[in-house]
Amino acid sequence: METNYSKRGVSSGKEDVHFAIRNLDKGLYPRAFSKVLPDFTGGDPEYCNLMHADGAGTKSALAYMYWKETGDVSVWHTLVQDAIVMNLDDLLCVGADNDFLVSNTIGRNKFRIPREVLSEILNGMEMFFETLREMGINIINTGGETADLGDLVQTLVLDSTIFCRMKRSDVITNEKIGNGSVIVGFASAGKATYENEYNSGIGSNGLTNARHEVLSEKYKTIYPETFDKNIPEDLAYCGKHSLTDSYENSPLNVGKLLLSPTRTYLPVIREIFSKHRNDIHGMIHCTGGAQTKCLKFVENLHIVKDNLFEIPPVFRMIQSSSRISLKEMYQTLNMGHRLEIYTDEKTAESLISIAASFNIEAKIIGRCYQHEGNKLTLHTEEGVYEFLNH
């Protein structure tokens, strides 16, 4: 069944991409969350290379709107964090936790994104790197490319590519995920000890749906450069909120709820790796595909998530503002936890305790069972949803 997300020109499961790459080499460990390559840089058979590219997605259109509406340049700093963390935490899921080289790629419309904004983005990138370095993470900015693409880009596209080298023996391949594995979910919302303010948990996935479902139709007229004219008229900015509206039970306004920077789990997972790396069966970053992402990295398993987190306010806001079904929301938004570690019962309790020391809620959200083919069952407040990996 066609979803509102697909009608807006976005595929939550990236089916077109997976079709395009179906015959390409999947690397040393096909079920690993990121592609793992031989050590081309050093030629050492005990090491491997990883290179990952991702970005802030359509969150940049939201940052543009908020900046134009309020003059708040800090939104560009949060966008930088989105573009970096979407790479870092993917690499984290294969066991990489230090020594990163980063290159950025910016495509802008010079008429709408002036040099002052460009400066905020590039300086904000170095500020975020410095924050990571203060936590013991060695990360180096190698530069990048800034292109003026007014004929192609309406506002701004912000992407980054990250490279690292690690021991093959440290790689988390996901091949240990199996019958009996328990799933520890790590909350996406709240205020971790290393964060400066409350994080809504929105991350950088599903923002096309969220932006159009939450924000008022007035933005069609005010910012026509922020949406594709091929989107059906009734699906473009069809919500009821303004960017600066307050929202119940939240310390952030509507715009800041949607712009809240993608939380990195790197500090807490580095602590977990120091104690339990060998006890981890697998790791999943609930990004494109959200709670169904796990189906792509297991084999002959029924994954049952029957103890999900309470839905955070930002997702309540999207749910109450939209016509999107809760089932579709779980396919496009993390809905409360953006990282999963698959492990044994005893280790799970330790992981939960370590997360708590960083003020991040974690809990066992489900289990894995032997099954012919891959199947996912989500137990939600509105019922049970089932998904198959085709």
Q: Quote the domain boundaries for residue 380.
A: 4-388
Residue 64 dihedral angles phi and psi, to the nearest 5°: -60, -45
Nearest-5° Cα angle at 312, 310 to 318: 120
pLDDT above 90 as % of the chain: 87
Measure the CA–CA gap between 195 and 180, rounded to whole angstroms. 34
Mean pLDDT of 177-195: 97
The number of domains in the chain is 1
pTM over the 0.85 mark = yes
pLDDT band at residue 9 using 50, 70 and 90 as cut-offs: low
DSSP state of 260: P
4-18, 25-39, 233-247, 307-321: which range is least confident on average? Answer: 4-18
- CATH number of residue 104's parent domain: 3.90.650.10
Say yes or no to pLDDT of 5 above 60.
Answer: no
For the chain, give the mean pLDDT.
93
The pLDDT of residue 38 is 97
What confidence tier does 311 reach under pLDDT thresholds 50, 70, 90?
A: very high
Per-residue confidence (pLDDT) for residue 304, from 0 to 100: 98
The label of the residue with tokens 């909120």 reads 241
Assign 390 a pLDDT band (cuts: 50, 70, 90): low
Cα distances (Å, whole numbers) of residue 362 to 19, 90, 95, 188, 241: 35, 19, 19, 10, 31
pLDDT tens digits for 213-258? Answer: 999 999 999 999 999 999 989 889 999 999 999 998 889 999 999 9
The region of weakest confidence among 52-61, 126-135, 318-327 is: 318-327
315/210 Cα distance (integer angstroms): 9
CA distance 251 to 84: 25
pLDDT tens column, 269-281: 999 999 999 999 9
pLDDT recorded at residue 234: 86
